[in-house]
Amino acid sequence: MRARSGTRADAAWLAGGWLQGATRCETPNRNTRPAQMPIDLVVIHSISLPPGRFGGDAIEQLFTNRLDCDADPYYPRLRGLAVSSHFVLRRDGAVLQFVGCDDRAWHAGMSSWRGRGDCNDFSIGVELEGLEGQAFEPAQYDALADLLAALALRYPIEGVAGHEHVAPMRKLDPGAGFEWRRLAAALGWPARYFPAGTVAGG
């Protein structure tokens, strides 16, 4: 999926908030958002399974409840876990979508953003394949900027935050390796869209 020409206004959406061109990997780990809830936040996460190992299909397996929890010493702690994100961005920039954006994915958990709790109700979750605190690939920043611009065409996006910002006592991702200023510059969005202190003037 690429929508970088002009204002990236050439992004196409399918019914239910499925992005045309993304690889569709539907999961049952979703539910309906509260009625009349504006979808105005994007939460950025990082994930790799096992931690620090990239490639393979373990992330897809986890989000679709197919992970063999005996396949790696790290996996038993994930047994019975039912989670999902709307999107996963691979290290090469490939875009996978697990939940239509009109629906509620299970990514943020106990969370709060600017005085509102339960961010899953009003946010879209984007997982970057990577390890919290470490660097992400240029292709991922390109794909993320394209995705955010496409989301802003369909939803009233007013904020972009890390999991660490909406659940600061529990989560550390995407961490210090994520370049917020790079993302803000690519989008051309004002500092008020981002967490305080991550972008000049924020």
Q: In angstroms, what CA-CA distances link 133 with 47, 108, 128?
A: 11, 18, 12
CA–centroid distance for 38 within its chain: 17
Q: Which of 99, 89, 167, 84 is nearest to 129 (CA)?
A: 89
Q: In angstroms, what CA-CA distances link 132 with 52, 54, 190, 195?
A: 9, 13, 25, 17
How far is it, in rounded angstroms, from Cα 146 to Cα 151? 9
Which is catalytic among the residues 60, 127, 132, 164? 127
Amino acid code (one letter) for 151: L
Kindly provide the residue ranges of all beta strands, DSSP E only, lying in 116-182, ordered along the sequence.
116-117, 123-129, 159-162
- Catalytic: 164? no
Q: Which of 8, 155, 22, 178 is nearest to 85 (CA)?
A: 22
What residues are annotated to the active site? 127
